[in-house]
Structure 1
Amino acid sequence: MAEPLAAAKNDRPRFRSVADTATILGMSEVTLYRAIHAGQFPAIKVRGRFVIPARAIDEMEASALAYGLVDASNYALRPAG
């Protein structure tokens, strides 16, 4: 049997809505949408709806704690793979 995904193990969502992400980051949804459209924040678009990988938020948080200032656009511009 296949190993369950890590997100399923701890009941954390793999993706978050723009509204949820904006709340987590303490910003308005409009600001976050602008950053997504400008390619400055990582997101996945499915038929006009955007979702944010929870792992991207976690990685940004960990980097900020370890190194200080984090530029979200660096996460948005990472090549796949």
Structure 2
Amino acid sequence: MFNSRGGATAEAPRFYSVEQVAQLFGVSSMTLYRAIAGREFPAIRIRGRLIVPAKAVDEMVDTAIERNSTVDAADYVPEAAA
């Protein structure tokens, strides 16, 4: 996004790379790629590249905090993808 003077504004990302999410969750990129391939973690494929919606990551974290419990990332994969 840009501000009224044409400069970039600091805005929360809408998507993360697989590598960024793996680092956030403290797992290897390969672990996350396997979870995505197994439809156990939400991602979007654009041609050959996978990206993870920040909204999905935020919802997982928020739910875990609200419930004071673990969540299953597979619950955040749309059923149409399954």
- TM-score, length basis structure 1: 0.82
Give the superposition deviation at 1:77.
Answer: 3.3
Q: How many Å separate the matches in 2 of 1:33 and 1:74?
A: 17
TM value normalised by structure 2: 0.81
Do the aligned partners of residues 10 and 58 (structure 1) sit closer, same or farther apart at CA in structure 2, a change above 3 Å counting?
farther
Summarize the Cα distance change of 1:58–1:78 in structure 2 as closer, same or farther, 3 Å threshold: farther
SS at match of 1:41: coil
Q: Which residue of 2 aligns with 1:43?
A: 43
Consecutive unaligned residues of structure 2, counting only runs of 5 or more, are 1-8
Gaps of 5+ in 1: 1-8
| 1:64 paired residue number | 64
Paired residue secondary structure (1:50): strand
Structure-1 residue corresponding to 2:5: none
Question: Identity of aligned pairs, percent?
Answer: 46
- Give the equivalent residue in structure 1 for 2:76: 75
What is the count of residue pairs matched by the alignment? 73
Q: Equivalent residue for 1:53?
A: 53
Shift of 1:52: 0.2
Which portions of structure 1, spanning 4 or more consecutive aligned residues, are displaced by more than 2 angstroms? 77-80
> Does 1:16 pair with 2:16?
yes
Shift of 1:51: 0.2
